[in-house]
Amino acid sequence: MEKAITFLSFAVSIITLLFVYRQVKDASKATKSQIATGLIDQLYADMTFQNNFERILADTVAFRLDEKEQPFITYKDAQEERDIWLEFNIYLNRFQILGNLFDLGVLGKRDLLGLRYEILKTGRNKAVRDYFKYLNDAYQRLSGVEHDHFYALKKLYLAFEYKDDEKQSFKKCRFDYTADVQKTLSDWPPSSFSWDKLLN
């Protein structure tokens, strides 16, 4: 009788745990959905985002360097060429934030399907790719700091890209840290932390 009661109690515990797990899982899905919906709504309420995405669709954005290797991001409106350096970086950073949430596992691909078109068109844009190449090369030399700019945006784009030729041509936009820098990018402090190792 005691064994039967113990087994029944164990079974009830398992069922309870499964029920709680299901509730947490459902709540997690709902939360992720709310986050994704809120972010998409914010993007489309943002005129900087809308204006720059329209420019990408119209293919009117251009990236170039002057003779002093100073970068310019511009777009042509009728006969006028306008500097959009700041707002275009803001536009790209909107996707960087989404990419960070994707990279951390807060949002999955299914949560971001509503922005798949925008992500692909941005990642395939020539001006965007030219800018990434500049950041990987000339800017690294000028700044003196190795840094993978817009790394999360790049990961997000490649997660949705399905054309092999686009993936291959995007390789030049990727950035690889040197081995010495790579060592400094892990969580801090590392488990084998030692000031002696750090200073020597």
Helix extents (H) in the chain: 2-45, 47-58, 85-103, 116-124, 126-136, 138-143, 151-160, 164-170, 179-183, 195-199
56 three-state secondary structure: helix
What's the whole-model pTM score?
0.79
**Vertex 183, ends 178 and 189: CA angle to 5°?**
155
Phi-psi group of 109: left, alpha or beta (phi > 0 → left; psi -120 to 50 → alpha; rest → beta): alpha
pLDDT at 198 over 50: no
**Is-contact 71 85, C-beta < 8 A?**
yes
Round the average pLDDT of the chain to a whole number and report it.
83
b/e per residue 55-66 (b: at least 16 CB within 10 A): bbeeebbbbeee
Per-residue pLDDT of 34-69, as tens digits, reads: 777 788 888 888 999 999 999 999 999 999 998 887
Task: Give percent above pLDDT 90 in the chain.
Answer: 51
Per-residue pLDDT of 71-99, as tens digits, reads: 999 998 877 899 999 999 999 999 999 99
